[in-house]
Amino acid sequence: MIGYTISRLLQAIPILILVSLMAFGIIYLIPGDAATVIGGPSATAEDLAQIRANLGLDQPLYMQIVTFYTNLFQGDLGRSLMLGIPVTEAIIQRSPITIGVAIYSLVITIVLGLVTGIIAALNHNRWIDQAATIFALIGVSLPNFWLALVLIVLFSVQLGWLPTGGYIPFTTDPWGWLRTTTLPALSLALLQAGLLTRITRSTMLEVLSQDYIRTARAKGLSEWVVVGKHALANVMMPVVTVLGLILSVLLSGSIVIESIFGVPGIGALLGNAISSRDYPMIQGGLLFVTAALLLLNIVVDVLYTWLDPRIRVGGGK
């Protein structure tokens, strides 16, 4: 298994190189002169020269690439034009907030998706199954930012249960953190839960028809043990494989969701960077999030092989 982990990490290296090259190349997509676009109409000739020097645009392309990678290996992603601090520093400051909300959201997704999917499968073809299927389908069809707005109207404006936005760090006030992050986490989770419900339901239906479930029943085990132990253990594995996808959608969703709720995480950082044309920040954020996801996907794959004894313990016949 250690061998597998290492080989997966090695495979990720060429992808990471390409990904970083693409992130680097984004600045060349800017139509016309990048410095003029970044500086805006009021920029003087000196301003533009300053911007070019900052971004290294005054150097030949190969030098820019060399500098980019040299800096990258030292963890230097350039300096944010908007904040005036190193991009890496901004990312390190903000990521714990996003990670917190993401974990909260992931927990809601998994609980909601698994429970709904399992209940639907256990009541196959009854109204509760149909309802869950429709819930799941609608879930994957809604724009998450719109759902966020609807949740604000419902829970904050109409019911007044939760604040419309803002953020209180967990370390300052755990209850306040929960109050400020519940709606963002929910907005991100409900749609993912739809996806997870669909996968859980179909996997569960397949697992319940397996011979070993019949064996478990023949042993005289209670239905709780049959479903909760024998079926669930087998349902978990395909579910683990979609975790990577769920995390990916969750992190891209955080740009809009964090901006809407004023949660100062990576998402909001990127959102602001976009509106103020802070390209080093955009490049750095994009690269950071993607690299983090690549790593998380490897973790998920390794977790999968660990969960499945057929892979973990060799010697199969």
Partner 1 sequence: MTDKPLLSVRNLSVGFPAGKGHVLAVNDVSFDIRPGELVGVVGESGSGKSVTALAVMGLLPPTAMLSGQLLFEGRDMLGLSRGQLRQLRGRQLGMIFQEPMTSLNPVFTVGDQISEAVRALGGVSRKQAADRAVELLDQVGIPSPRRRLEDYPHQMSGGMRQRVMIAIALAGSPRLLIADEPTTALDVTIQAQLLDLLNGLRERLGTAILLISHNMGVMAEVADRVVVMYASRVVEEADIFQLFDTPQHPYSEGLLGSTPDMAGTARRLITIPGAMPSPGALPPGCLFAPRCPKVVDACTKAQPPLIDLSGGQKAACIRAPKREAGVPA
Partner 2 sequence: MTDIVATAPPRFARTRATLRRMFANRSFMLGAILFGFICLATLFGPMLIPTDPNALSIRNRFQPPSLTFLLGTDNLGRDMLARVLYGARLSLAIGLAVILLNALFGVLLGALAGYYRRLDNILMRIADALMAFPAVLLAIGIAAALGPSAMTAVIALSVVYIPRTARVVRASILVVRELDYVQAARAAGATDLRILWKHILPNCMAPLIVQLSFVFAYAILSEAVLSFLGLGAPPTVPSWGVLISEGRTYMREATWLTLVPGIAIAITVLGLNLLGDGLRDVLDPRMKVEQG
149 binds, among partner 2, partner 1, none (CB under 5 to 8 A by kind): partner 2
Q: Confirm or reject binding of residue 215 to partner 1 (CB under 8 A).
A: yes
**Interatomic CA distance for residues 284 and 146, integer angstroms:** 27
Interface residue with partner 1, options 210, 228, 275, 295 (CB under 8 A): 210
Any contact of residue 224 with partner 1 (CB under 8 A)?
Answer: no
Sole binder of partner 1 in the list 58, 214, 228, 295 (CB under 8 A): 214
Residue 243: other Cβ atoms inside 10 A: 21
User: Both tokens of residue 57?
Assistant: 């645009």
Which of partner 1, partner 2, none does residue 215 bind (CB under 5 to 8 Å by kind)?
partner 1
User: Binding partner of residue 220 among partner 2, partner 1, none, CB under 5 to 8 Å per kind?
Assistant: partner 1
In angstroms, the CA 142 to CA 152 distance is: 15
Please, which of residues 122-161 interact with partner 2 by CB under 8 A? 137-138, 140-147, 149-150, 152-153, 157
The first and second tokens of residue 158, run together, are 């109409």
Quick one: which segment of 48-56, 215-223, 251-259, 292-300 binds partner 1 (CB under 8 A)?
215-223
* d(C-alpha 24, C-alpha 198), whole Å: 37
Residues 2-31 that bind partner 2 (CB under 8 A): 14-15, 18-19, 22-23, 26-27, 29-31
Single-letter amino acid code for the residue at 151:
L
* Binding partner at 168 among partner 1, partner 2, none, C-beta below 5 to 8 Å by kind: none
* Paired strand residues for 79: 86
Q: Taking the complex as a whole, how short is the minimal distance between the CB of residue 278 and partner 2, in angstroms? A: 9
Tokens of 97: 């907030």
Count of other CB atoms within 10 angstroms of residue 40:
10
Least separation in angstroms between residue 154's CB and partner 2 is 10
Residue 227 in the binding site for partner 1 (CB under 8 A): no
Q: How far is CA 33 from the centre of its chain?
A: 33
What is the x/- site pattern for partner 2, positions 245-264, by CB under 8 A?
A: x--xx-xxx-xx--xx----
| Total site size for partner 2, rule CB under 8 A | 51
Question: What is the helix (H) or strand (E) element at residue 256, kind and residue range?
Answer: helix 232-261
Please provide the size of the chain in residues. 317
79: nearest Cα among 312, 280, 285: 280
Cα distance between residue 5 and residue 290, in whole Å: 19
Q: Which one, 159 or 313, has the nearer CB to partner 1?
A: 313
Query: What's the CA dihedral at 13, 15, 16, 17 to 10 degrees?
Result: 90
Residue 127 binds partner 1 (CB under 8 A): no
Residue 297 CA: distances (Å) to CA of 8, 233, 283, 305: 10, 21, 21, 13
- Are 122 and 113 spatial neighbours (Cβ–Cβ below 8 Å)? no
Instruction: Choose among partner 2, partner 1, none what residue 31 binds, the Cβ cut-off being 5 to 8 Å by kind.
Output: partner 2
Identify whether the C-beta of residue 250 lies closer than 8 Å to the C-beta of residue 188.
yes
Binder to partner 2 among 117, 282, 284, 304 (CB under 8 A)? 282
Q: Interface residues with partner 2 (CB under 8 A)?
A: 14-15, 18-19, 22-23, 26-27, 29-31, 37, 137-138, 140-147, 149-150, 152-153, 157, 195, 245, 248-249, 251-253, 255-256, 259-260, 270-271, 274-275, 277, 279, 282-283, 286, 289-290, 293-294
